[in-house]
Amino acid sequence: MPEREHSAIEIADNVHWIGALDPDLRSFDLILKTANGTTYNAYLVRGAGGAAVIDTVKEEFADDFFTRLEAVARYDEITAVVLNHLEPDHTGALPELMRRAPQAHIYVSMRGLKLLQAVLKDDLERYAYTLTNTGDSCALGDRRLSFVNTPYLHWPDTQCTFLEDARLLFSGDVFGCHFCDVRLYNDLVGDFRFSFEYYFKHIMRPFKRWVLEAVDKIEPLEPVLIAPAHGPILRDNPMDYVRSYRTLSNSYLPNEVEGKEKSLLIFYMSAYGATADMARSVYEGASTVSGVRVSLYDLQGGEIEPFVDLIESADGMVFGSPTINGDAVKPVWDVLASLISIETRSKLGGAFGSYGWSGEAVPMIEDRLRGLKMRVPEKGLRIKFNPTEDELAACHAYGRALAENLSGKAKPKEIDFAELQ
Ligand code: FEO
């Protein structure tokens, strides 16, 4: 292993990278593929009046972190520990760091306190801490670290920390990516564009509204160096990455359906044609409502990723699935499972399907939609075997009711308490 893999690396005047390399990681948080591994970046900032540690590393890499930290500072010199984000990949070494430097003052966002309690347990009582908000700062004598709250990028607790004299932004997960390269800087490492966009898409995309708010706060700082918690340090054109967050947050299928018009998507799978018949009637019923653009998709003929893009910009979606072995069919679950990467809160949802014995698919889909914080305003439709004419009329009415709800034309409903049990 080359010498520098064990060294702390000075990235700015009296600012050192003291993180850890994890080149063998192949999946992160169970949901991200990491073909290049990742890094857990932590930093030490030294000023005339103290030294600050910015973030730590995953617990199993604590030895690397402490080795690098000890190369540039003594524990009794550490006056501040700044936590930009408290997920375990950045706080794994925190309990041990605080045992070694108990005099250090912890800086954490207000939303981070509960997580800090969970990380340090009863030991937290032994340490001093300050809850930060945008504009608050921490002095290291001649240097100042100021805090920028960036909630939901990608957890509620996240913040960035700006070293004012160096115009260096310690950005936590923001502007990071899973890409391990010992050359460390964006102008030296391999081509990591795919990793950067992949990371955004899976980590930040559900919070695009918050990303745009954060970019509004970060752009005026005009950082000349961005030091994220994962992947390359951005020293070559760092503002390009800030702008790219804005672009990525505004992309993904510009809305075809605009203005007051609403978009309703109907997805289905059918084993013997019965659920397909239902889907066509739901589609025809919904299409009778003006101001709602309705689209019908057979999941047998589609790929998931484009559907997720469509769903992101839609106002409502309905899933039709037969019940097979007491469950909805896999392609429906595949789409529903993929929705964690987009914002679905308060979109309209619905479910329907044909069944033979028990018909669990519809309520299971509805539960998932509610779990995604979607509105499910109409009780889903279950029909045994092939639908009769009357049952197809019920499907038609169901589609119409959903579309009316989307368009604001639905009449107020009287709640039947029996249905709530
Ligand atoms: Fe890198 Fe959200 O932890």
DSSP string, 147-164: EEE-TTSSSTT-EEEEET
Residue 53 has pLDDT above 60, yes or no: yes
Cα 86 from chain centroid?
A: 15
d(CA 407, CA 306): 25
CA of 91 to the centre of ligand 1 (A): 10
User: Could you give the angle at the alpha carbon of 254 between the alpha carbons of 250 and 260, nearest 5°?
Assistant: 110
Phi, psi of 400 (to 5 degrees): -65, -45
Tell me which residue has its CA closest to atom 2 in ligand 1.
Answer: 87
What is the average pLDDT across 9-28? 96
4 — pLDDT class (breaks 50, 70, 90): very low
Q: Band of the pLDDT at 29, cuts 50, 70, 90?
A: confident
Q: Give the Å distance between the CA of 154 and the centre of ligand 1.
A: 8
Residue 48 exposed, middle or buried by CB count within 10 Å (0-12, 13-18, 19+): exposed
Dig out the tokens for 381 from the structure. Answer: 């439709």
Q: Which two tokens stand for residue 185?
A: 């800087």
Amino acid of residue 317: M
Q: Which atom of ligand 1 is nearest to the CA of 203?
A: 2
Q: Mean pLDDT throughout 138-153?
A: 97
- Ligand 1: does its nearest atom lie under 6 Å from the Cβ of 400? no
Find the range with the poorest average confidence among 28-32, 181-185, 243-247, 297-301: 28-32
CB of 297 closer than 8 Å to CB of 410:
no
Q: Within 10 A of 325 (CB to CB), how many other CB atoms are there?
A: 8
Say if residues 397 and 285 touch (Cβ distance below 8 Å).
yes
**Is any ligand 1 atom within 6 A of the Cβ of residue 208?**
no
Considering the entire predicted model, what is its pTM?
Answer: 0.84
Whether residue 22 has its Cβ less than 6 Å from ligand 1? no
Say if residues 91 and 65 touch (Cβ distance below 8 Å): no
96-138 pLDDT, tens digit per residue, is 999 999 999 999 999 999 999 999 999 999 999 999 999 999 9
Residue 115 is predicted with a pLDDT of 98
Contact 291, 261 (CB under 8 A): yes
Task: Write the CB contacts of 183 (distance below 8 Å, at least 6 apart in sequence).
Answer: 189
Residue 2, pLDDT score: 40
Residue 222 has a pLDDT of 97
Q: Which atom number of ligand 1 is nearest to the Cα of residue 87?
A: 3
Q: Which atom of ligand 1 is nearest to the CA of 40?
A: 1
Q: Is the CB of 173 under 6 A from ligand 1?
A: yes
Residue 90, ligand 1, Cβ within 6 A: yes
- CB of 157 sitting under 6 A from ligand 1: no
At 355, give phi and psi (nearest 5°): -150, 165
Alpha carbon of 204 to ligand 1 centroid (Å): 11
**Does 230 contact ligand 1 (Cβ within 6 A)?**
yes
Position 305 confidence tier, pLDDT thresholds 50, 70, 90: confident
Residue 301 confidence class, pLDDT cut points 50, 70, 90: confident
Residue 229 Cβ < 6 Å to ligand 1 = yes
Q: Extract the tokens encoding 146.
A: 């100021």
CA quadruple 151, 314, 267, 378: dihedral positive or negative? positive
- The DSSP 8-state label assigned to residue 202 in this structure reads I
pLDDT in tens, 165-195: 999 999 999 999 999 999 999 999 999 999 9
Q: Could you tell me which residues are beta bridge partners of residue 324?
A: 327
Question: Residue 155 Cα, ligand 1 centroid: separation in angstroms?
Answer: 8
Q: What is the mean pLDDT of residues 68-72?
A: 97
